[in-house]
Amino acid sequence: MSVAPSLIIVKDRDASTYEWMVYHKSAGATKYLQLSNTDALADLDTIWNDTEPTSTVFSIGTNGSVNTNTNDFIAYCWAEVEGFSKFGSYTGNGNASGPMIYTGFRPAWLMIKRTDVANSWGINDSTRNPFNPAKQILWADGTSADEDRADRPIDLLSNGYKVRAVSTETNCNASGGIYIYMAFAEHPFVGDGTNPVTAR
């Protein structure tokens, strides 16, 4: 990669007992999350070795979930590409008119996770939600079918997204909830320049 990854997900392919381990740039390499459960952000130096990734390598510690002798692992690494992908964080305001998060494009796929307490990984997309507000949601940490969550609406905008309600999963009842997100573009600004971003 020409730049350091903003998101890394690692999974032991030989041991089903280990979780999907997540590095997110907003949390840093001293912390980790687990995509396959709802746990809050945790601190453990044996996951990412307390070392930030670079454009050529990422570090792992001695924890079995990322480094078990002779086991095969897979790592998915994503970097930010202007107009195509964005990874960041925001703080909830506990207000029905929640934060507007600028991504620089209209998200086609959006995943949000509250990190200061245990909470699910919620996925919205513009295919199941062609019109605002986006209410159909899938849970990355669960196995249930998608559900209509009228109490958790999000507007997918031409340049980002806006949280439209008070919800512990996107905008906690009291201000101060910390959320990370991953977003990919519906109509990327990058490439041949012929794909316009459509407003809703």
Would you give the DSSP letter of residue 48? H
Q: Are 1 and 55 in contact (CB under 8 A)?
A: yes
What band does 190 get if pLDDT is binned at 50, 70 and 90?
low
* Nearest CA among 89, 82, 95, 79 for reference residue 7: 79
Tens digit of each residue's pLDDT (9 = 90 or more) over 99-121: 999 999 999 999 999 999 999 99
Residue 161 has pLDDT above 60, yes or no: yes
Residue 138 has pLDDT above 70, yes or no: yes
First-residue to last-residue Cα distance in the chain: 33
Mean pLDDT of 78-103: 95
Positive or negative CA dihedral for 111, 126, 133, 188? positive
CA dihedral of residues 11, 17, 23, 28 (deg, nearest 10): -150
Residue 137 has pLDDT above 50, yes or no: yes
- Which of 48-52, 148-152, 184-188 has the highest average model confidence (pLDDT)? 48-52
* Nearest CA among 29, 28, 67 for reference residue 45: 29
- Residues of the chain with pLDDT > 90, as a percent, come to 85
Q: Round to whole Å and give the CA distance between 141 and 38.
A: 7
Residue 199 has pLDDT above 50, yes or no: no
Tens digit of each residue's pLDDT (9 = 90 or more) over 12-62: 999 999 999 999 999 999 999 999 999 999 999 999 999 999 999 999 999
DSSP string, 39-108: PPPEE-HHHHTT----SS-----S-TTT--TT--EEEEEE--BTTTEEEEEEE---SSS--EEE-SS-EE
The CA radius of gyration of the chain, in Å to the nearest whole number, is: 17
